[in-house]
Amino acid sequence: MGDGARSGGRRSGTGHVKIARMGKQVISPGGIIDGVVELPGDKSISHRYAIVAALAEGRSEIGNYASAADCQSTLECLRRLGVEIEKSDRTVRITGAGLNGWKEPRKPLDAENSGSTMRMLAGALAGQPFTSTLTGDESLRRRPMRRVIEPLRQMGAEIRAKDDRAPIEIHGGPLHAIDYTPPIPSAQVKSAVLLAGLFGDGPTTVRESVCTRDHTEVALREFGARIDGTKNAIRIHPRPKLVAQQLVVPGDLSAAVFLISAALVLPESSLMLHNVGLNPTRARVLDFLISLGAAVRVASLQMRHGELVGDVSVRHAPLAGGEVSGTQVAEMIDELPMLAALGPFTEKGIEIHDAKELRVKESDRIATMAAGLRAMGARVEEFEDGMRVEGRSAGKLRGAKVDPQGDHRIAMALAVAALGAEGDTTIRDAECAAVSFPEFFVTLDKLRGAAKA
């Protein structure tokens, strides 16, 4: 369970999260969001720092490593590959033994619910001189892996997977360089190919029609890899000497979006978030919120270890509504459930198109989000590639029992929507939020508690 589900004994008056049994969370509406937050480390960056550090030579130190369950899955898989890892608070120390220093695992590597762990480790394992198997929980075993299996097979890896889903058996070895364009823009697929490219017989290139998050390229450069090319064509040169580094992970912007949205739902709210990762390939969601009318400001910008970091403040303001489509989808894929949940609090609603990728995430995020919002009284039109959520004119949301289908982002998005409903909302299986933001419910409660005090 996440920290919020474990804490127990929280206040249950109006404007607070009530902790219930069996993994449920009861959200009482109202109150205001007020306070200052230091976010847990960015989930995407933490995965990548850990994997590259494990391929480097020497002892790396990673500060503010993500508390997300997904990122702990990556560490556990690396341990099973013989990588020495020490943890104290939010600092992780990883002793790498070079590109081919990993050991053949005795048991399958369990990525649990983490698609990032599975897809990116598949790339690094494809170049190892042994056989390994990657598996995960029921949800992850349903998710499509052909998109990462296909390019790795092109590079010469022998991979077995029934119906191109986990478990994935990888017979690694020497790899060929390729020039690859993913059919669907995906940072995870790009990362897998670039990591496999470390073991190639020449430079490997990944081309993108839409620029996806570039944390892998940034991390590899920090550790000493040679990467060049253009913004849409990234080329990695093989067999670099990766050298251990001391790094600090910035706060997770995708986690920040849920707290920012809570402040936008509740009138008179004001929130400051310190040391947030603002990588340009991730920060488009802030531009979109500003386009809706959100009073979001960014300050104290600085570059740390190749990543842009700054402070983000937000004040409650009326939202106009808008549409997400085309290239915006890949740029904001993780934030789309939260944007949909903001629909009933906007003037014109939120409409999402070209987002069929949401159908194959931790849940079918289009169907699950639509069902949750409808249960709360929202008017939702579902499309094959997205949805339309009507605005304020459709009426106020009402408290309801909702099921996020084990999807962490859906659970948090529905919790934020519940803040502006009439009556309590019960979120089933709410501890799934721990996959990316274990502290979410406790943080939300503290911010409303501080405002009420």
Which residues are part of the catalytic machinery? Answer: 334
Contact 448, 440 (CB under 8 A): no
d(CA 169, CA 57): 27
DSSP string, 38-49: EPPBPHHHHHHH
Contact 343, 349 (CB under 8 A): yes
DSSP string, 132-196: EEEE--HHHHHS--HHHHHHHHHTT-EEE-GGG-SSEEEE-------EE--SS--HHHHHHHHHH
Beta strands 322-324 and 350-352 are parallel
Contact 70, 282 (CB under 8 A): no
**Burial (0-12, 13-18, 19+ Cβ within 10 Å), 302:** exposed
Order of all β-strands in the sheet with 179-180: 179-180, 204-207, 233-236, 227-230
3-state secondary structure of 69: helix
Among residues 158, 108, 166, the alpha carbon closest in space to that of 129 is found at 158
Q: What share of the chain is helix, strand, coil (3-state, %, to 5)?
A: 35, 25, 40
